Structures are given as C-alpha cells and as structure tokens.
Amino acid sequence: MEPFEPFRKDLLSGKTTIITGGGTGLGRSMALRMAALGAKVGIVGRRPAPLEETVAAMRKTGGQGAFAPADIREPEAVARAVDALESELGPANQLINNAAGNFLAASEDLSPNAFNSVVQIVLYGSFHCTRELGRRLIERQQTGEILSIVTSYAQTGSAFVLPSAVAKAGVLAMTRSLAVEWAAYGIRLNAVAPGPFPTEGAFSRLMPGSEMEKQARRRIPSRRFGEHWELTNLVAYLMSDASPYQTGDLVTIDGAEALFSGQQFAGFAHLDRAAAKELMASLKPKR
C-alpha cells in the first residue's frame, strides 16, 4: 500500500522526543517519521552502529537527531543518556518506550535469568525511562507526552511468551496509573498495541518459518501484516498537539487480529464469502 500523508510538515515542531530501541525496526521507523514531521529525535539503544546510521538517515532528510548508547535496564545509564541527548537537542518533552526483548519458549523451561532479562528490558526499562523524563518535566514545569509500545496480549496474556506478557501488562498498568497521577502536570501517557508488523528483530524471534507466517496472516481479518507507515501515522498523531485530550488510552492497530481470536464464529470471515453464505443458508430452517 502507498503511504498516506495526513499531516502538516510541522506537526511535531517544538517536540523533543526520546525513542528507546530507536536504531532498528519500528523504533527506527518512528524516529524517521517524527523527525520528518519536525520533532528533534534522540534515540537510545544498546548498539551504537544502528543508532548512528538512523541519526544519519534523519539528518539526510533535514531532520534533527542525536543518539546515546545505553542499556535501559540500568537507571544510571538512562539518566546519562538523557543528559547527553538533552545537551545536543535541548530539553526533552516526549518519550516513546519502544525497546523490547522477547523470545518464544515453553515457560517451564525458562531460567530465572531468561525471565529477568525480558522483564528488566520491557518493564524496568520502561519505568526507568518514564521516571527519568517525568521527573525532569515536573521539575521544569513542562508538559509532555509518553507513549509505550505494548501488544494486544498485554490485556489477555499469551502462551509461550510469558516474560513479555507479564512485562507488557505491567507497562500498560504503568501507563494507566500515571495518566491519572501525572495529568495534573500536563503529562499525557498512552499505549499502542501493534499486531504483527514485519521487523527483523521480532520476526526472527517470533515467526519461525513461512508456515507460521501464513498461519499468523490467517488470524488477521484484514488478511495482511501492518505496514510501518500505518503505525507511525498513529504514533505521530498521539504524540502531537492534535490529541491533547487523549490520555490513559490503549490504541490497538492490528487489522482486528485481537478481536478475531476472541470471536467464536470469526473463522467464517476467512471462507469465500459466497461459500460462507451458502453454508449459513443451508442451516436455515425451511418454511
């Protein structure tokens, strides 16, 4: 599908946005899109090379960007990274908690350290970053926006990704708690739950082989995976001053995948429609 451009070029001017995991995957796409819409974007991640490349790509199209390598599991490293980004870009007023860790595993086989690694990145990392920006905003009497990328199973749980499910549920609870607690400071917090959007990081870990990919597509009533521009349009809107009353929300963007899984007769949506109608008509009592 062709990307659709609904926004003014300066939609995000005045925003200085920190994006964790901003060097690769959806984080990179969000960074490029937000920079193109006038935000100054500071990206954080563990590996310098993709961060550097993403900042170069932002600058190539006239955007303003900076990077700071950090492991968000360490609160002191988060503080140092925000200091470094602010010294280059000025005071930050936005954060996207995007960095994540995940893998498929039977839960009985998880080592305590495996559980810990994912929960430390997703839940503790999001808390450390949210706390760091929140404290600075409150201290400076600045308003701001914080967005967390979660997943539809943050609400339901999911088999075989237990550490991620537990951590994402926690991030959602944090979003909803702080939306209320920090509304008085003019800080908005929202969460977005994407369905499958192809990225190297997620698909290499969660989509083993083309058969799984085919099955995954069959669970999506829209019959396709998401495209990055579809997510970045939603994120740009939520992070902009076009949505000042939206806070504490969870917005799902998944082609109705999550609803499909919970609906008993959803399978009919995948039959040829004429065949489905014929089947349903055959069950209608004759008069």
Contacting residues toward ligand COA, per CB under 6 A: 100-103, 105, 111, 113-114, 117-118, 121, 201-202, 205
Q: Closest approach of Cβ 181 to ligand COA, in Å?
A: 28
- Starting at the edge strand found earlier in the chain, the sheet holding 40-45 runs 64-69, 40-45, 16-20, 94-97, 144-149, 187-194, 250-253
Question: Judging by beta carbons within 10 Å of its beta carbon (0-12, 13-18, 19+), is residue 56 exposed, middle or buried?
Answer: exposed
Examine the residue annotation and report whether 153 is marked as an active-site residue of this protein: yes
Closest CA to 231 of 61, 4, 58: 4
In the complex, what is the shortest distance from the CB of residue 100 to ligand COA, in angstroms, rounded to a whole number? Answer: 4
Nearer to ligand COA, 160 or 268 (CB): 160
Q: What's the CA gap between 244 and 186, in Å, rounded? A: 9
How would you label 198-218 residue by residue, b for 16+ Cβ within 10 Å and e otherwise? ebeebbeebbeeeeeeeebee
Minimum CB separation of residue 108 from ligand COA in Å reads 11
Of 124, 153, 185, 237, which residue is the catalytic one? 153
Using CA atoms, how far apart are residues 28 and 37, in angstroms rounded to an integer? Answer: 14
Q: Nearest residue by C-beta to ligand COA?
A: 101
Minimum gap (Å) between residue 66 Cβ and ligand COA: 22
Give the C-alpha distances (Å, rounded to integers) separating 211 from 214, 215, 216, 221.
5, 6, 9, 18
What percent helix, strand, coil does the chain show, rounded to 5? 50, 15, 35
Comparison of 117 and 158: residue with beta carbon closer to ligand COA = 117
Residue 187's nearest CA partner among 137, 131, 136, 129 is 137
Q: Which is nearer to ligand COA, 128 or 188 (CB)?
A: 128
Min dist CB 53 to ligand COA, Å, is 17
Judge whether 163 and 104 are in contact, CB under 8 Å: no
| CB closer to ligand COA, 7 vs 103 | 103
Which residues have a catalytic role annotated?
153
